[in-house]
Structure 1
Amino acid sequence: MSIREKLKQWKRFAAGATAAVLCAGLLAGCTGKNPAGSSDGTAAQEGPQRYSTIFYDAFDTVTQVIAYCDSEEEFTRQMDALHADLLEYHQLYDIYNDYDGVTNIKTINDNAGTAPVQVDDKILGMLELARQMYNTTDGKLNIAMGSVLRIWHDYREAAGQTETDADNKLPSQEELDAAARHCDINNLVMDEEAKTVYLTDPEMSLDVGSVGKGYAVEMVAQAAEARGLTSALISVGGNLRAIGTKPDGSQWSGGVENPWNASEFYTSDSSYVAAVNMSDMALVTSGDYQRYYVVDGVRYHHLIDPATLWPAAYFNGVSVLAPDSGVADCLTTGLFCMPLEEGQKIVESLDGVEALWCTTDGQLVTSSGWSSHEKK
């Protein structure tokens, strides 16, 4: 395999990652713990100890967790459960693959215009949040845009197989317009009592990439807390969710990668435009530098503006700090696809939500309360 092919393969693997990253060394960490004692006879440390682990098989990205637990056995028990939860959500929200015994988003899409599909509460809850956030973002967050997003996905995937960027192609406006006729979220019919989901338009499909991972991270964090985990920082492709504080009372830290100096690959030289303190909060970023392909020297990213059906051109990155990871995930996509003034009004109207916009002219703009969370 050539170097170019290896780079393209890793680019596709890392495509699900967002740009919010850990400032506490998690990216360089591997499974391990602080020593209970050492060979020189020094005493074991008292109280909860720091452990970390990495998973590679959920949401097509890297999951990393730092946690403080009373024992390695407790940490292992917590991580086994968290990992199993993530894999379940990964399968439920998949739009490309079938799994034995699993009814997922692909199942709903496959039955569009045919019949309602009975689904798990984990799907209903996520779809209900997405519908609420559609209204909050004035339609800029629209999971019913699957037909349009699939076109862009296919062109990106085709670009990943070409030898040079000169061979890459763009969809036609006619192709996109035809697909956009099947993106009405009102054709998503949910029956809470029967626990069914039905797409009344046979040409419609759901794409939950803008909400699924964030919602899953929030749910697995809440489940871990219910199992007794009190101090942890979870990163699923850079989607950060902090549980509690560190044992000494200090907060967790999260950073926003510099979108103007970003790399497809993490390096120790990666730079950040902001760092925030986090306790029972989520930090999520959407950027134009993670999932894209190049045509005639122009980068075409994956964040599609429902108004134009083309990659949104307002910002290079948008980060949201919020108490709920699912809400933060939805908002980053919605805010990325609207003018700054509109986004500012939405953020200022939401309790506990702050945002940072990285504009295309190299400016940083923050919401009124962002600075109160900044790491000094």
Structure 2
Amino acid sequence: MRAIPSRRLSRPRAPLPDRGPLSMSISLRSLATLVLALAGGGVAAAPVLQHYQHEQVLGTSLRMSVAGVGPAEAEAAHAAALAEIGRLEAVFSTWREDSELSRLNRAGAPLPVSPELRRLLALCEHWREASDGAFSCRLGGPLQAWREAAATGVLPDRVQLRRQARALAQLQPEPASVLPAPSPGLLQWQVDGVAKGHILDLALQRARDAAPQASGIALDIGGDAVYWGGPEAGQGWRVGVADPLAPADNAAPRATLQLRSLAIASSGHRSRGFKVGRRQYSHLLDPMEGWPLAYPPSATVVAPDAATADALATALSVMPIRDGLAWVEQLPGVEALVVSDRGVSFASSGWHRLLSVETGAAAAAWPRPLRIDYEIPTHDAARYRAPYLALWIARPDGSPVRQLLVLGDRSRYLQELPQWWRLYGRDDESAVHGIARPTRLPGHYSVTWDGLDDQGRPCPPGEYRIELEAAREHGGRQRLSLAVHALDGQARHLPRAGDEIGALYAHRGDDAP
């Protein structure tokens, strides 16, 4: 299964039909199993993996697989999941005028809210608070303004949108409630950033209740998915993560994961957005501005439940990459891959443990990482400022391979690193903020290169160059270039040759040569 995000609840459509145990939605493999069982004089065939697929479910496609049970039990799980999805769509959809949420958004006065809708809105507010406002379900009004702009070709009033977004952010919960006070004409709920995940969790539970003997169930709606158990004993579900820079349906996945009793969601895909005139705008809005984010990263999140994965994927596409990944590290059972607009990958510390055997083997093409030791020399100066510094791997022709280190996170001064700025900084602000760290005082430091490029692909053996560039306020500039071979194990060394960068070593092993 390939995780390609589609993050809206469906437009109005016909109700899901009732499906009996021999529905035509049963796959050919399932039907063949039934025929063999009947031909065998009533002796049931061994359970096989049952597959189902539907279009126009929550405005996108649904794929479901059930393992460890026969066709009748699998169909019961399938029917239960579809029924639950249909029931919840009638509550949560913002595209169906007859849904409970649409009625609430249209109301000129407070309305009673069902327990299902109250739980979802409470989930929205939980993640808004946990993300410090990066995730918000309160932006229905600004999003509607952008839909109208796309239809008319006229941009919304930016000042008015900013006022509206900030007024929405300031709404406070009612006493004894986690929800903000009703604000007719201002607060329009837009729950697509978490509703699909919440629906997936509840639909999975209904499917498990309907087929308690099942050993695994996979439920995928538009690329956001939940995987319980496994397709076979001791195995996880093999899941491809779509490459946000390669939107073709048949593009190779950026990574392949093995998931067992986990959920996955993605956000920030380039295929979505608002086109106003000749310009394309992101569908992700700055919650404090009501204006589309410029060059937002895409994010894929794996979490214990689909609602968490769904909300976090949206939040990580809005937050600075570094801050988002630092937050993920604090959340139990959560891993994430964030890809900048230019294709530079940033992963949480445990992401590699989710990779399939094939992906892991490719990533481990280098038996030991290349260690690079560098020095920031001491200066006897009253107005000393620690240097801004960038270190990256390049091919012999100078084309960039992998960005390893940036010290200093203010674009104004990073531009004083001209070679790095030309290759990376000027066109990829999100990558700058994702990898940049504070400047460092004089001393000896190390980084490693694992043999992967900026897109997470293994690099072939051969010649490469370590590029190191530094610039200092009230000081000078310096650039070093050290040739290395990827796998020969030979240490390389450049002695100190200037004021801003000290000695540079490249080697394998724990000790410098």
TM-score norm. by structure 1 comes to 0.79
Give the 3 Å change call, closer, same or farther, for CA 52–188 of structure 1 in structure 2: farther
2:280 match: 299
- SS state at 2:49 partner: strand
Aligned equivalents of 1:314 and 1:324: distance in 2? 28
Aligned equivalents of 1:190 and 1:286: distance in 2? 33
- Paired amino acid for 2:114: D
2:225 match: 240
1:343 match: 324
Matched, 1:332 2:334: no
C-alpha contact 1:68 1:247 (8 A) present in aligned 2: yes
1:204 match: 187
2:165 match: 180
Aligned equivalents of 2:305 and 2:70: distance in 1? 28
Give the 3 Å change call, closer, same or farther, for CA 155–92 of structure 1 in structure 2: same
2:155 match: 170
2:76 match: 77
2:96 match: 97
Instruction: State how 1:216-227 maps to structure 2 within 5 Å.
Output: 216-227=199-210
- SS state at 1:135 partner: helix
C-alpha contact 2:128 2:134 (8 A) present in aligned 1: yes
Deviations 1:81-138 (A, max 9, x none): 1101001111211124333xx6x111221225x12x2232221221111111111111
Instruction: State how 1:221-300 maps to structure 2 within 5 Å.
Output: 221-227=204-210, 228=212, 229-263=214-248, 266=249, 269-295=250-276, 298-300=279-281
* Aligned sequence identity (%): 22
Give the 3 Å change call, closer, same or farther, for CA 188–253 of structure 1 in structure 2: farther
Deviations 1:128-149 (A, max 9, x none): 1111111111101111111111
Unaligned runs of 5+ in 2: 1-5, 10-24, 358-513
1:106 match: 102
Aligned equivalents of 1:223 and 1:190: distance in 2? 34
Aligned equivalents of 2:175 and 2:245: distance in 1? 41
TM-score norm. by structure 2 comes to 0.59
C-alpha contact 1:140 1:306 (8 A) present in aligned 2: yes
Give how far 1:297 is off. 5.2
Deviations 1:165-198 (A, max 9, x none): xxx4432313422432542363554967xx9985
Give the 3 Å change call, closer, same or farther, for CA 242–190 of structure 1 in structure 2: farther
- SS state at 2:192 partner: coil
Q: Which has the higher helix share?
A: 1
- Paired amino acid for 1:243: W
- Bigger mean CA offset, 218-227 vs 125-134: 218-227
- Paired amino acid for 1:77: A
Aligned equivalents of 1:247 and 1:82: distance in 2? 21
C-alpha contact 1:147 1:183 (8 A) present in aligned 2: no
C-alpha contact 1:314 1:338 (8 A) present in aligned 2: no
Name which structure has the greater RCO, CA cutoff 8 Å, separation 6+.
1
How many aligned residue pairs are there? Answer: 331
Aligned equivalents of 2:72 and 2:85: distance in 1? 20
- SS state at 2:137 partner: coil
C-alpha contact 1:286 1:333 (8 A) present in aligned 2: yes
Given candidates 120, 127, 142, the residue that maps to 2:121 is 127
C-alpha contact 2:165 2:288 (8 A) present in aligned 1: no
Instruction: State how 1:344-363 maps to structure 2 within 5 Å.
Output: 344-363=325-344
1:52 match: 51
- Paired amino acid for 2:225: L
- Bigger mean CA offset, 117-126 vs 315-324: 117-126
1:214 match: 197
- Cα RMSD, aligned residues only: 2.9
Larger Rg: 2
Give the 3 Å change call, closer, same or farther, for CA 187–233 of structure 1 in structure 2: same
C-alpha contact 1:48 1:247 (8 A) present in aligned 2: no
C-alpha contact 2:36 2:45 (8 A) present in aligned 1: no
Aligned equivalents of 1:206 and 1:273: distance in 2? 33
Matched, 1:142 2:136: yes
Give the 3 Å change call, closer, same or farther, for CA 368–312 of structure 1 in structure 2: same
